[in-house]
Each structure stands twice: as structure tokens, then as C-alpha cells.
């Protein structure tokens, strides 16, 4: 089954404790990205990757890191989480980034930072 | 001004009603228009996709694009409780509206 998986689905942590949210897709997609979704603000892009080893900042990159060492995986790293990073996070992938392609979203990771 | 504007609702309608969801946009370069549906505790999934102006129908759903007015719509006929979800418009793959929450009451 074609899908994007994320882990963990739910995470409660404390300020400053480094964490990683994993993302994997099995569709051989070139393009992957991370979004956060907050009430009233919608989906905001954090980082994206056009291909392996190619990543770039989205609209809200502060406090986040990513890496793309393999085509299928695109982990999101919070080196020192803060309460304002409490949010619902989605990983997404698409065949390419030409404006035409459907994005496939993961199931989401609900993060709470206390 | 945001590039894509969408009324967040919430919208509550009785079962069987016709629902109209709308987005406006400011960038005349947008050519690809998508509607995603997001159920509670799930990721968004593509519902409809249209290119340029015109209408596209898929069962009870109709997507409409008016490029001259920079306005897109999603119509749901004979709405069902299973249509209760948040609907997000998207332009050119990456420019999302904030989503409209819809509840269809049995």
C-alpha cells in the first residue's frame, strides 16, 4: 500500500529535550516536506527536500532541522523544543515539485512541549 | 494579504443539503487547484483536482474555478454525515487555505 508513515503519532516532552520525528514514504517520491498545522493558521511549511541531500527552508523553519540521506526518509529534528512548537505535524511527499502533483500526507504527529 | 484566503467556518448543515466551500487567491499565476479533505486525527487527502478555469464533477462533488475572479469553489450535493471533515483548498501544490470545518448533521 502506497503510504507515508510517521512516528511517533503522539509525543509529550519537556522544554529542551531533543527529539526526532521520523517520516518514511514507499512511493519513490522525489519531493518531501514537513508542515505544522495550528488552529486558525492552517498548514505552514517548515522544511522541504527536492531530492536526496537537497533541503531548504519553508515558511517557519526556526527551531527545526531536517536531513535527507535516503530518498524514502525525511526526519524532523527539534534540537531544543520549546512550548511554542506544540503543534500537529505532518510529513508529506509528492512525485515532484512542479505545482501539478498531489501531495500525500502522513497521519500526523501531535507534539506537546511542556 | 495572504495568497490564499478561506473562511474557516465552522459550517454546520443538515443531511441532504448542498454545501458550498470557497477560496479566493491573489496570485494570477496559479493554474492548478486542488481540494483536500481532512478527517479528524488524519492527514489531508486529495479530493478533487482541476487545471485552469472551468468545472469538474466527481459523483456528489463539483469543483469550480473562476480565474477571472480568482475564486474557486467546491460544491457537495446531497451531503452525508460522512462528509463531516475539514476541507482545504490548495493552489499550485503548495499554497494552502486554512481549511473550512464542515459538520453534516443526520
* Chain B residues with a Cβ under 8 Å from any Cβ in chain A: 6, 8, 31-32, 34, 41-46, 49, 88, 90, 92-94, 96-99
Pick from B6, B2, B3: nearest CA to B100: B6
Q: Which residues of A touch B47 (CB under 8 A)?
A: none
CB atoms within 10 A of CB A81: 22
Q: Kindly determine whether residue B46 and residue A102, on different chains, have CB atoms separated by under 8 Å.
A: yes
Please state, rounded to an integer, the average pLDDT across all residues of chain B.
94
> Quick check: A44 and A35 in contact, CB under 8 A?
yes
Pick from B17, B14, B56, B63: nearest CA to B37: B63
Report d(CA B102, CA A83) in Å as an integer. Answer: 29
Which residues have C-beta within 8 Å of that of residue A47, sequence separation ≥ 6?
Answer: A33, A34, A55, A56, A57, A58, A61, A64, A65, A66, A76
pLDDT digit string, tens, across residues A23-46: 999 999 999 999 999 998 999 999
Residue A28: what pLDDT? 96
Residue B18: what pLDDT? 98
Q: Which residues of B touch A101 (CB under 8 A)?
A: 93
pLDDT digit string, tens, across residues B51-104: 888 899 999 999 999 999 999 999 999 999 999 999 999 999 889 999 999 999
Amino acid at each position: 500500500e502506497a503510504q507515508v508513515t510517521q512516528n511517533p503519532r503522539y509525543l509529550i516532552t519537556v522544554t529542551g529535550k531533543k527529539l526526532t520525528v521520523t517520516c518514511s514514504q514507499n512511493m519513490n517520491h522525489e519531493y518531501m516536506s514537513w508542515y505544522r498545522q495550528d488552529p486558525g493558521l492552517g498548514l505552514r511549511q517548515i522544511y522541504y527536500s527536492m531530492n536526496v541531500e537537497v533541503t531548504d527552508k519553508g515558511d517557519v523553519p526556526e527551531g527545526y532541522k531536517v536531513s535527507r540521506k535516503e530518498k524514502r526518509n525525511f526526519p524532523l529534528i527539534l534540537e531544543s523544543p520549546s512550548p511554542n512548537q506544540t503543534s500537529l505535524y505532518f510529513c508529506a511527499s509528492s512525485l515532484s515539485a512542479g505545482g501539478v502533483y498531489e501531495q500525500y500526507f502522513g497521519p500526523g504527529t501531535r507534539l506537546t512541549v511542556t | 494579504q495572504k495568497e490564499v484566503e478561506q473562511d474557516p467556518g465552522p459550517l454546520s448543515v443538515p443531511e441532504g443539503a448542498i454545501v458550498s466551500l470557497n477560496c479566493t487567491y491573489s496570485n494570477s499565476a496559479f493554474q492548478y487547484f486542488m481540494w483536500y479533505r481532512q478527517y479528524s486525527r488524519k492527514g489531508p487527502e486529495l479530493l478533487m483536482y482541476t487545471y485552469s478555469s472551468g468545472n469538474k464533477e466527481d459523483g456528489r462533488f463539483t469543483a469550480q474555478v473562476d480565474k477571472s475572479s480568482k475564486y474557486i469553489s467546491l460544491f457537495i450535493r446531497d451531503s452525508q454525515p460522512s462528509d463531516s471533515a475539514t476541507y482545504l483548498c490548495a493552489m499550485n501544490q503548495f499554497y494552502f487555505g486554512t481549511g473550512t470545518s464542515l459538520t453534516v448533521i443526520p
